[in-house]
Structure 1
């Protein structure tokens, strides 16, 4: 379930890219808090504490905003594409007992039957859950499963109080037969033959051999002339 971490927050009155850069240089994170019909509140959060708290997907934070506490769900976390530090956080006001719609990741465990391949078609499921009881992940076991096994969203076990929003028939995990190296080589050879790659290669080799023979013959004629 999602953790609730208390984060001290400061209201900010400066906006724009320049203000955001100054906040980050001070090892803080710009954020905005909204929801429940209230006006957005612009905040700055401590960098390290925020980074640690947001390692958990769908983290619920207890914000201490200048002495007043407020529960908030991390709705959108923007990170630098290269350095991966947090650039900005969108927070949504939530209340205990309130249900929210979130995406929760799928964790696959176990070993399927030999010579099979396990493919995850849906990496997350959309569910409705209490804001303070959001699962961190959904675990799906593929232990011993044979080729041809399909696991749909409706077959994933959900904790009590969590309701599936994703289509129950959506394919989540697919266990298929692994392609052997021999079969793969045969398919490749067949594809190349259909594309005429082997024929073109053979013609190219014959042409190269012919040119080499002609070159050698010319060289012999020149030698004879010089003699």
Structure 2
């Protein structure tokens, strides 16, 4: 089993938007750690270190957060991301216990080639599962190799790893649907082109031209 990464943080002394902006200017990421058995901890950590961890471990990353010499086993629960820079602005961490399962969303992906003539539609991209926080899979992979038109894969068909179970096992959601390709509509021969505003204008006259006679009459009134 891979060693759980350790992220060293510091307890926050100042709060508010101004304090958070000052932290981010110093490349520090503000966050909060919550969970059963302890008060909430407001902290800040190195921004690049946390972003690197999440980039490689995913949005369900598990870590040991070290605060004031004490380590807390926790996982990412929520991320606020800057829509312009894509940097993380704030992070919520949840305290977890070894062997105690948690609910997490795991991506579902496909691999392989379906049978010729079909079209693969992935109806759902994530599945909510119950799993030990130290054994969260990176993704659930559906092998669609050779699947023919009419084949459907529901949540009950997902190849879940050992120790992973569905949270909503009563709801059988559709994940993969192999259908016939949609045919583009082709105009039938003889269909008339849509009329334009100028088609009813008399020959030799521009569609929007002003009748000179009417113009002269109005000038003399």
Report TM bin, short chain: 0.7 to 0.9
- Superposition deviation, residue 2 in structure 1: 9.0
- 2:44 matched to 1:15? no
Q: Secondary structure of the residue that 1:215 maps to in structure 2?
A: coil
Aligned pairs, how many?
202
Equivalent of 2:77 in 59, 75, 85: 75
Q: Residue by residue, what CA displacement relative to the aligned partner does 1:96-131 show, whole Å, maximum 9, x if unpaired?
A: 111101110001111112232211111101000011
Q: Whole-Å Cα distance in 1 between the matches of residues 177 and 3 of structure 2?
A: 31
- Equivalent in the alignment of 1:176: 179
Q: What is the match of residue 126 of structure 1?
A: 128
RMSD: 2.3
Offset of residue 185 of structure 1: 2.4
The CA distance in 1 between the partners of 2:2 and 2:136, in whole Å, is: 5
Pick aligned residue for 1:110 from 109, 112, 130: 112
Counterpart in the other structure of 2:201? 211
Q: 1:2 to 1:149 in 2, by over 3 A?
A: farther
Unmatched tracts of structure 2, length 5 or more? 207-221
Structure with the higher helix share, 1 or 2 = 1
Structure in which a larger fraction of residues adopt strand: 1
Closer, same or farther: CA 157–139 of 1 in aligned 2, 3 Å: same
SS at match of 1:69: strand
Quote the residue 1:156 is aligned against: 158
TM-score between both structures, scaled by the size of structure 1: 0.82
Equivalent residue number for residue 101 of structure 2: 99
Q: Give the corresponding residue for 2:50.
A: 50
